[in-house]
Amino acid sequence: MSIPFWCVFIAALLIYLAKLPVAKAMAAESGGYDNHHPRAQQGRLTGLGARAYAAHLNSIEIFPLFAAGVLMAHTTQVFGWWVDLLAILFIVTRVLYLVFYWRDIATPRSAVWIVGLLCCLLLMLAPAIRWLLVSV
């Protein structure tokens, strides 16, 4: 399996890693995990629990864009260090994003989010970039 595909797998796992502090906060803040109405309980979280929930949702939101970028690069046979680097950098930004969100470090969190988004967009543009470089 290629490095970008491994990164898609890791990004999928990060969605659920981001959820671990949410479950812990739900148990701590509300006297137990409400398995009957978990989304309502998540909506009442504060502090770390609320931030962890927001980070979890953001992980879900960005995943399709990253997976699409990797698949666009792969299906157009754009391989090499550039695609690998973008995929790895995306994973690094997502790990930092989670840590910064959990610790309430807002500005660096936003900065790494932007870098991660750029990785996704550049992966999607990789076929066009390759075409431009080959045509010149």
Mean pLDDT over 26-42 rounds to 82
Domain CATH code at residue 46: 1.20.120.550
Q: What is the extent of the structural domain holding 93?
A: 3-135
CA separation for the pair 92, 111 (Å, rounded): 13
8 Å CB contact between 26 and 33: yes
User: Tell me: the pLDDT tens digits for 72-88?
Assistant: 999 888 778 889 999 99
- CB 15, CB 63: distance < 8 Å: yes
Quote the number of domains for the chain: 1
Mean pLDDT of 55-83: 93
**Per-residue pLDDT, 136:** 58
**In this predicted model, what pLDDT tens digit does every residue of 94-120 receive, in sequence order?**
999 999 999 999 999 999 999 999 999
Q: Is the pLDDT of residue 37 over 90?
A: no
**Mean of the per-residue pLDDT values for the chain?**
91
